Amino acid sequence: MVFNDPLQAINPAGMGSAEVSRREFIRLAGLGGSLVVALSVIPGRVSALAPKNDRSAALNTYVEIASDGQITILAPNPEVGQGVKTSLPMIVAEELDANWNDVVIENAPIDAERFGRQFAGGSTAIPMRWDELRTMGAIARHVLLQAAGQQLNVPIEQLSTQYSIITHAPSGRSVSYGDVAQQAAKLALPKPENVPLKTPDQYRLLGKRITGFDNHAIVTGQPLFGIDTVVPDMLYATYVKCPQIGGKAVSANLEELKKRPGVRHAFIMDGTVDIAYFNPGGVDMYSGVAIVADSTWQALDARQYLKVEWDTSKASTDSWSALVEQANAIADAAGAVEVEHKGNVVKALNSSSTRRRSQYTYGYISHAQMEPQNCVAAWNSNGTIEVWAPTQTPQSAVASLAQVLGIEENKITLHQIRAGGGFGRRLDNDYVREAALISREVNAPVKLQWTREDDMSYDCFRPGGFYALEAGLDSKGKLLAWDNHSIAVSADGKKPNSSAGHWKTDFPGQMLKHFRHTQTLLISKTPTGPLRAPVSNTYAFAEQSFLHELSDAVGRDHVEFLVDALGEPKWIDKGNIRSLNTTRAIEVIRAVAKRAGWGKKMPQDRALGLAFYFSHAGHIAEIADVSVDTSKKVTVHKMWVVADIGPIVNLSGAENQCEGSVIDGIGVMMSQSITMTNGRIDQQNFHQYPLLRVNKRPEIDVHFVKSDYTPTGIGEPALPPVAPAICNAIYTINGERIREMPLSNLGYSI
């Protein structure tokens, strides 16, 4: 059984699918004879099923143009809410000079040879694809021009393009892209270096606000996400793991379960690890009990009757309160291992006229992406498998499946499919491996559905940890030395767990003669992984709060203090956009101060707080307008975000990411906390893990500084400054320095 297209495999019996939107109808109607074919497949999802009209012509890897003018552009990277399904094709369309209304976007197949690395992580898609996609658009445009020149019998220098039309100004004649696409497809592609790219002042599309390509399907509820995938004869599975992380299923009342309504199979899977801590990015999988039924509900219902005997001899025994105790006992000293040291920190601290030391603590958190993990896998008896996975890393999913299943990678077909949020959780493909192994075991297509409780208990959490920071300043209040003792979790006591601890950062260490980073590891087996702006999302809180402690200690204005700490104009690693550029940093700090009216008189119990952070190639400064009452109730009235991420691709998408980062940052900072007791996660669902709701949203002002560096991503870097900006404002109001997240642990509420 092979389904080449996930959407063809979706059950067309759905009642809602009988409706075709007017927009799609118009698009279809333009395809003439293709209309019938399209409607018989699955109405309502035709936009992504753009029928391959036999007159459509592939101009290169990314661009295909039909004779009716429809332009299909492939989106190479997974869409998880960061907007790349729209923004990456916009880059192609800009150089192509396409009319955006002619454009239909399809997910590219997973194919490293044609599309290179296909993943969603590190806010890298835009900078990684920038040159490639512009070139693809320009090459396609070039062959269209050549074909038009031949057809009109004029030199191509006399031709111009705009909105999918090629015009010969001297004669007033014009042809459309559709008219010449067939001819263009026969021409040899030019060498990229022979095709000029536009300069930013020539952009018609980039920098505009473009609504997401899938928005129509989203607002009409069409099948779109991993969880929406249906394939013929599919069964529905739930997979129950040990509440104490890493416990192994020894036995279960499987026969009893098989008698429950709709249950077809119930069996134990050993998993691939027998240690508690696993490598989520690799091939590891936890032991558990699979229940496979005729519907999701029947599987979940049967689960209530499941009784399992677990072997917890090697399971996690982690406890968050114990980790806090251990950290508090050692935070005053330097760390066990020296990670980095320049100058002589101890001497510099001893000779400084003002000296501060503070310990910052941050808890574990869960990704809580809105769509609980799920995956459809269809094992075939000939030893091949087809998988529909809402993953951020489709290529490593294939590699890990090959290992787990013991088959060649070319026996695996994996379809990338829109994911309901990622935030780093879907970099790890544990749920994909589970689905594949269950499908092979029952020899049928299976949709594995995690519950929210499964998702929250077996996340690859953002690790909790500690930073003890110490700094010295001279008699003029200038920063002299910086010492960071990071206390991080580690499964083996040798290296920090994924995304735990602290990486080298440029600021303020690079600006100082005396800088030290030491580290101590605490044993913990709770699985961890990257979460939106990993490490930065905790280090920014400590660093930027501590810098405010310092400016306050010496009585300096915080804007001036930060600008002074950044020092002379300097691009740390010149030419590398992922290194700090102090000119850009100072510009965003000054700009946000201006927009927010920094220094203005504020009402009683209300203040502005400022933070700057550089991560993921983004220079971002934020100011929070906050009030706090005597019962420690916090109101965030407004947030100003000023970012320099180079030229903007999709302005609406970029603003949306900044707005979302502010909401995310406030929610995490105020009240999100994952704790564990003897290896069990204490929080199971949203009633114990509150996400920020609409009535707590601040007004958000987003501004992008104009700059002509390579454009970079904005899925992550606007998050880190949120918490310290707000905490700095709280200090200014009530004098209480916040050194722990979430603030609910300190009696604050929002």
Residues 67-106 that bind ligand FES (CB under 6 A): 81
Query: Is 717 exposed, middle or buried, given 0-12, 13-18 or 19+ CB atoms closer than 10 A?
Result: buried
Interface region with other proteins, contact rule CB under 8 A, candidates 22-30, 103-111, 152-160, 703-711: 22-30
Q: Is residue 454 involved in binding other proteins (CB under 8 A)?
A: no
Residue 690 binds to ligand FES (criterion: CB under 6 A): no
Is residue 40 involved in binding other proteins (CB under 8 A)? no
Interaction partner, residue 434 (ligand FES, other proteins, none; CB < 5-8 Å by kind): none
Q: Fill in the DSSP letter of residue 346.
A: H
Of 692, 726, 727, 750, the one binding other proteins by CB under 8 A: 692
Residues present in the chain in total: 750
Q: Does 218 bind other proteins (CB under 8 A)?
A: yes
Q: How far is the CB of 370 from ligand FES (least distance, A)?
A: 4
Partner interacting with residue 297 (select from ligand FES, other proteins, none; CB below 5-8 Å by kind): other proteins
Give the Å distances, CA to CA, from 253 to 249, 261, 290, 339, 387: 11, 15, 12, 51, 30
Contact status, residue 292 vs residue 438, Cβ threshold 8 Å:
yes
Q: Please give the residues from 695 up to 714 whose contact with other proteins meets the rule CB under 8 A.
A: 695, 697, 699-700
| Residue 149 contacts ligand FES per CB under 6 A | no
Amino acid at 292: V
Comparing CA positions, the residue from 669, 654, 661, 672 lying closest to residue 719 is 661
- Residue 81 or 527 having the CB closest to ligand FES: 81
Question: Residue 374: what residue type?
Answer: N
Whole-angstrom distance, CA of residue 81 vs CA of residue 13: 28
Which one of residues 98, 136, 227, 289 is an interface residue with other proteins (CB under 8 A)? 227
Q: Within 13 A of 324's CA, how many CA atoms are on the CB side?
A: 14
Q: 332, exposed or middle or buried, with CB in 10 Å at 0-12, 13-18, 19+? A: exposed
Minimal distance in Å, beta carbon 281 to other proteins?
22
CB of 433 to ligand FES, least distance (A): 25
**Burial class of residue 222 (count of CB atoms within 10 Å of its CB; 0-12, 13-18, 19+):** buried
Looking only at the bridges linking them, the beta strands covering 248-252 and 173-176 are unpaired
User: What does 51 bind: ligand FES, other proteins, none (CB cut-off 5 to 8 Å by kind)?
Assistant: none
Using the rule CB under 6 A, is 370 a contact of ligand FES? yes
Say whether residue 694 binds other proteins (CB under 8 A): yes
Interacting positions 651-690 with other proteins (CB under 8 A): 652-653, 656-657, 659-664, 667, 685-687
Binding mask 238-277 for other proteins (x = CB under 8 A): -----------------------xx---------------
Kindly report the number of other CB atoms within 10 A of residue 687's CB atom.
Answer: 7
Is there a contact between 229 and 9 (Cβ–Cβ < 8 Å)? yes
For ligand FES, the closer CB: 180 or 658: 658
Which sign, positive or negative, has the C-alpha torsion 391, 81, 125, 228?
positive
| 649 vs 90: CA distance, rounded Å | 7
Paired strand residues for 256: none
**CB neighbours of residue 420 within 10 Å:** 18
**225 vs 310 by CB, closer to other proteins:** 225
Diameter over CA atoms, the chain:
84
Please choose, out of 98-106, 337-345, 370-378, 499-507, the segment that lies near other proteins by the rule CB under 8 A.
370-378
Residue 33 vs 261, nearer CB to other proteins: 261
CB of 184 to other proteins, least distance (A): 32
Q: Which is nearer to other proteins, 314 or 697 (CB)?
A: 697
* Nearest-10 crossing angle of helices 722-734, 536-553: 30
* Contact with ligand FES (CB under 6 A) among 116, 281, 343, 421: 421
Q: Is 12 in the site for ligand FES (CB under 6 A)?
A: no
Give the residue with the Cβ less far from other proteins, 26 or 333.
26
Residue 25 binds which one of ligand FES, other proteins, none, with CB within 5 to 8 A depending on kind? Answer: other proteins
* Using rule CB under 8 A, residue 368 touches other proteins: yes
Residue 420 as a binder of other proteins (CB under 8 A): the answer is: yes
R_g of the chain computed on alpha carbons? 28
Query: Other C-beta atoms within 10 Å of 40: how many?
Result: 9
Binding site for ligand FES (CB under 6 A): 81, 370, 421
